[in-house]
Amino acid sequence: MIPLIKVKLGEEEKNAVMDVLNSGNLAQGPKVKQLEEEFAQLCGVKYAVAVNSGTAALHTALYTIGIKPGDEVITVPFTFVATANAIMMQGAKPIFVDIKEDTFNIDSEKIRNLITEKTKAILAVDLFGHPCEYDKLWNIANEFGLNIIEDSCQAVCAENNKGEKAGSLGDIAAFSFYATKNLITGEGGIITTNNKKYAELAKRFRHHGQSEQTNYEYRNLGYNYRMTDIMAAIGLCQIKKIKEMTKKRQKNAELFTAGLQNIKGIIPPIIKNDVIHVFHQYTIKITKDFSLTRDELIQRLNKTGIGTGIFYPKPLHLHPHFSKLGYKEGDFPVSEKISKEVLSLPINPHITEENIEKIIKVIKEVGER
Ligand SMILES: *Cc1c(COP(=O)(O)O)cnc(C)c1O
């Protein structure tokens, strides 16, 4: 079996976890602090605040920039549900905007029409590890006085074409360290920012709104979003390996793209504007021109022992939870079309070159028939 996702931890992680267990300090402690320092450095920002999931990171980010009930936040329907749910956790409304067909990311051309007096922020998702067009987003944000939040849950170590890292491209960013992401701690997440006030508010929010100065004095509503030192110890080992693991993903993507070029009805993912794409997923599109339907291809691949994934099978606005907000089929035609075409292939750092060739061969064989 060639699984879509393969996670391999080393002796380093096991030893690091044992050290924490032996220390007796299981809650948020020195390892979390060290993780924050090293992760901030990795992203080229001044501050990082660790929390216990990517969802918590998004919620915290929205809180720190002051999103309140009644506000509107612009985001995409073609993303993981947590992006839009975090907006609703602050009592605000997700205002969906369609994506671009080539990068799967937010279509900045379509944002202006959606801005109202209630609009406070743009929540941009660096989907599959390809950063959004932040230059264009900043032009809009500056014109209308909006904040930009980066959902970089899939984009650790991604960069724009000026060498600026994901996590430093908005006012504040959210990352996930969930068990299948590029950098993992099991569950876990972190926010990054250059804004000291946002970092302080985030620390308050993750611990019940407790004052920075006085223990057991609470200034506002907060949550228990704290990370543990056990998680942070794994994260610190992962930071040491992330550059190498990312290079493997990029190399794998190159092999796939070279092999899947010029097959009728198969469109490999692109890297636009010379950004650094970190390929959390390697997602091809299967159009009507291909000899099989997507389902037939999946079946063929599965029969050969090749795992695949569909991210995401249905855009958010078509789920009952969001259609209640007034969205309906036809509202976001690109997201709707793309969700029927996408197929993610195994790109994890542990897949062998031979297995990549095997996957390409299966697709080519059925494609040429
Ligand atoms: C994984 C992910 C999240 C949520 O992260 P969790 O750690 O699972 O809470 C949010 N947004 C995107 C785009 C993600 O991929």
The predicted structure's pLDDT at residue 256: 98
The predicted structure's pLDDT at residue 316: 98
The token pair at 205 is: 């929010």
Q: Phi first, then psi: what are they for 120, rounded to 5°?
A: -115, -25
Query: Is the Cβ–Cβ distance between 118 and 144 less than 8 Å?
Result: no
Stronger pLDDT, 213 or 233, i.e. the higher one? 233
The token pair at 272 is: 């636009």
The predicted structure's pLDDT at residue 368: 66
Query: What is the sign of the dihedral through the CA atoms of 224, 229, 235 and 236?
Result: positive
Q: Can you tell me the distance from the alpha carbon of 194 to that of 196, in angstroms, rounded to the nearest whole number?
A: 6
Taking the centre of ligand 1 as the mean of its atom positions, its distance from the CA of residue 71, in whole angstroms, is 22
Question: pLDDT tens-digit profile of 267-326?
Answer: 999 999 999 999 999 999 999 999 999 999 999 999 999 999 999 999 999 999 999 999
Query: What is the sign of the dihedral through the CA atoms of 236, 228, 277 and 256?
Result: positive
Pocket of ligand 1 (CB under 6 A): 53-55, 79-80, 82-83, 125, 151, 153-154, 176, 178, 189
| 53, 55, 76: residue to mutate for ligand 1 pocket, most atoms within 8 A of CB | 55
Burial (Cβ within 10 Å: 0-12, 13-18, ≥19) of residue 27: exposed
Query: What is the sign of the dihedral through the CA atoms of 138, 142, 143 and 146?
Result: positive
With a CB cutoff of 8 Å and minimum separation 6, the contacts of 168 are 43, 44, 45, 192, 194
Which residue has the CA at smallest separation from atom 14 of ligand 1? 153
Taking the centre of ligand 1 as the mean of its atom positions, its distance from the CA of residue 56, in whole angstroms, is 9
Question: pLDDT tens-digit profile of 77-92?
Answer: 999 999 999 999 999 9
Q: How confident is the model at residue 245 (pLDDT cuts 50, 70, 90)?
A: very high
- Would you call the peptide bond into 312 cis, given omega within 30 degrees of 0 as the criterion? yes
| 81, 154, 223: residue to mutate for ligand 1 pocket, most atoms within 8 A of CB | 154
The predicted structure's pLDDT at residue 152: 98
Taking the centre of ligand 1 as the mean of its atom positions, its distance from the CA of residue 208, in whole angstroms, is 22
For residue 56, which atom of ligand 1 is closest to its CA?
9
The predicted structure's pLDDT at residue 369: 52
The predicted structure's pLDDT at residue 132: 98
Taking the centre of ligand 1 as the mean of its atom positions, its distance from the CA of residue 175, in whole angstroms, is 7
Which residue has the CA at smallest separation from atom 7 of ligand 1? 54
Q: How confident is the model at residue 20 (pLDDT cuts 50, 70, 90)?
A: very high
Question: pLDDT tens-digit profile of 295-309?
Answer: 999 999 999 999 999
